[in-house]
Amino acid sequence: MRWFSRPGAVENAVVAGQMRSFFRGLSADTRKAPRLVAQAYGEHLFHRRRRRLVDEKRFAASRFHVGIGVDSGDFADLTKRAVLVSDTLLLSHNGAGGRHHVRRLSNRSSFAPQTMEEERSLVLPTGSSTSEDLSMHCPDLERLGRWLLQTEPLLRAGCAWYLPTYSVTRHTQHYHSSPDPNDYPDHGGHSGPLTHSDVPGLLDFAATGRRVVAQSRTPATVSRLVVPVIEDLELPFLDGISLETFSEITVGEFDAYRAHRGWLRMELANVDDALDAPQREAELMKIGLRMQDGVLGMQSQMNQVRRKRAVAVTGAVVGTVTASLVAVYGPALQSALTAVVGGAAGGLWGAFQAGADNSPRTLRENAWYYVWTLSRAANRNP
């Protein structure tokens, strides 16, 4: 079943527009082959006329755009962690890995005119043909394709995307006149230089192994908030949850996600850069403990709501009947009931209203509802 993000869940409109256009164009057959998904993605983001990434300048327009170049093929853990603090997360292999063919960009031929005698003698013409092929550099297209499918909700919402590294190979084959058709293919040929696309300014970090290193041009605020989440914070609610489920929950509970992201940014911003390593570790541990307390507090609130609804349901049936009678006979019935039973009807109305007020939906904008939902999903899938 294909997943669609809810209309209001949009972080970066430019990224969201490109990603939604890409997924709309994916056929059911292509979705079954992750490698083809990755190739289709690379083709979608390449501007054939300008020979570079589409909308490259507008892609990084998010207020808190975080770009990470990774030399491995596994983005899952990095995605789940970095999304917690970034407006728009960009992941890239930054040129690492083998070169994979995406598509033929052009194929042009030029041959000298032949005389009538040459045509009658079946002499092959002199000329050349030039072809250009687009390739994408990636350690593993299969894994990249799976990542794209698993993060589809995040990509559709403009919360994340992948930056391909392209190269265009030009190959020119020269042909010389020959009366022997068998000699024709062997007459000269050379390949042009391998040209890589240049997409500057989009990557903030470079990752080697499991360590993320901020580059010199990275804004200090971004570095202070992103690196601790990726490297240092203990986040057990992410360990047992799949990337696909994480993506669906993040977009499905978008208001709670944004609220929690703001809280986490504030907490990390309050960690003093002047602290030595042990003090900094202690401050980050406190943030982790406060997160655990927030999850427990949300669980307590949800339990309380359920208990209130269980109590309120005893009067709900009577309240529903009373409401129906009032709808038929008008306010006079409500006045009569109040006079006869000494205000008991007010109690019934209260019980009826409690069924609507004491609902988990009232907690869904809470910053801790998002983490609590992730924790529940992780616990169901140990």
Query: Span 290-310, mean pLDDT?
Result: 73
- pLDDT for 42 equals 92
Residues 21 and 159 in one domain: yes
Q: Is the pLDDT of residue 194 over 90?
A: no
Report the relative pairing of strands 98-111 and 88-92 from DSSP bridges: unpaired
Residues 186 and 321 in one domain: no
CA distances for 70 relative to 147, 154, 164, 380, angstroms: 14, 19, 12, 30
In angstroms, the CA 335 to CA 123 distance is 108
End-to-end Cα distance, the chain: 24
Query: Span 327-341, mean pLDDT?
Result: 51
Of 157, 162, 161, 160, the closest CA to residue 255 belongs to 157
In angstroms, the CA 290 to CA 280 distance is 15
CA distances for 301 relative to 121, 271, 363, 376, 379, angstroms: 92, 29, 8, 15, 19
In angstroms, the CA 85 to CA 226 distance is 7
The listed range with the strongest mean pLDDT (3-12, 90-99, 103-112, 182-191) is: 90-99
Residues 205 and 292 in one domain: no
Query: Span 119-141, mean pLDDT?
Result: 78
Residue-by-residue DSSP string for 168-179 = EEEEEEEE--BS
Residues 159 and 172 in one domain: no
Between 170 and 319, name the one with better pLDDT. Answer: 170
In angstroms, the CA 123 to CA 177 distance is 6
Q: Is 51 left (phi over 0), alpha (psi -120 to 50) or beta?
A: left
Q: Kindly state whether residue 124 falls inside one of the protein's structural domains.
A: yes
- pLDDT for 144 equals 94
Range with the lowest mean pLDDT among 147-161, 192-206, 292-306, 337-351? 337-351
Which three-class secondary structure state does DSSP give residue 334?
helix
- pLDDT for 372 equals 86
Residue-by-residue DSSP string for 206-241 = EEETTEEEE-TTS-HHHHHHHHHHHHT---HHHHTS
With beta carbons less than 8 A apart as the criterion, state whether 175 and 187 touch. Answer: yes
In angstroms, the CA 195 to CA 67 distance is 23
* Percent of the chain residues topping a pLDDT of 70: 69
Q: Kindly state whether residue 260 falls inside one of the protein's structural domains.
A: no
Residues 12 and 47 in one domain: yes
Residues 50 and 125 in one domain: no
Residues 93 and 107 in one domain: no
| Burial of residue 220 (number of CB atoms within 10 Å: 0-12, 13-18, 19+) | exposed
Domain span holding position 279: 267-380
Residues 52 and 183 in one domain: no
Choosing from 216, 247, 279, the residue where a domain stops is 216
Expressed in percent and rounded to 5, the helix, strand and coil fractions of the chain are 55, 20, 30
Q: Kindly state whether residue 57 falls inside one of the protein's structural domains.
A: yes
Range with the lowest mean pLDDT among 2-11, 85-94, 185-194? 185-194
Range with the lowest mean pLDDT among 33-42, 247-256, 301-310? 301-310
Residues 286 and 363 in one domain: yes
- pLDDT for 218 equals 84
Q: Kindly state whether residue 294 falls inside one of the protein's structural domains.
A: yes
Residues 86 and 180 in one domain: no
CA distances for 19 relative to 13, 76, 90, 100, 345, angstroms: 10, 18, 13, 21, 55
Residues ≥6 apart with Cβ < 8 Å to 127: 109, 110, 111, 112, 174, 175
Residues 66 and 125 in one domain: no
Give the pair of three-digit tokens for residue 107: 């194929």
Q: Kindly state whether residue 75 falls inside one of the protein's structural domains.
A: yes
Query: Span 45-63, mean pLDDT?
Result: 75
Report the relative pairing of strands 88-92 and 160-162 from DSSP bridges: parallel
Q: Kindly state whether residue 293 falls inside one of the protein's structural domains.
A: yes
Model confidence band, residue 2 (pLDDT cutoffs 50, 70, 90): very low
Dmax over CA atoms of the chain, in Å, equals 118
Q: Kindly state whether residue 229 falls inside one of the protein's structural domains.
A: no
Q: Is the pLDDT of residue 200 over 60?
A: no
pTM value is: 0.75
- pLDDT for 318 equals 47
Q: What is the total count of domains within the chain?
A: 3
The listed range with the strongest mean pLDDT (25-39, 182-196, 259-273, 342-356) is: 25-39
Residues 276 and 367 in one domain: yes
Q: Kindly state whether residue 280 falls inside one of the protein's structural domains.
A: yes
Which three-class secondary structure state does DSSP give residue 362?
helix
Give the residue carrying structure tokens 């570790």: 281
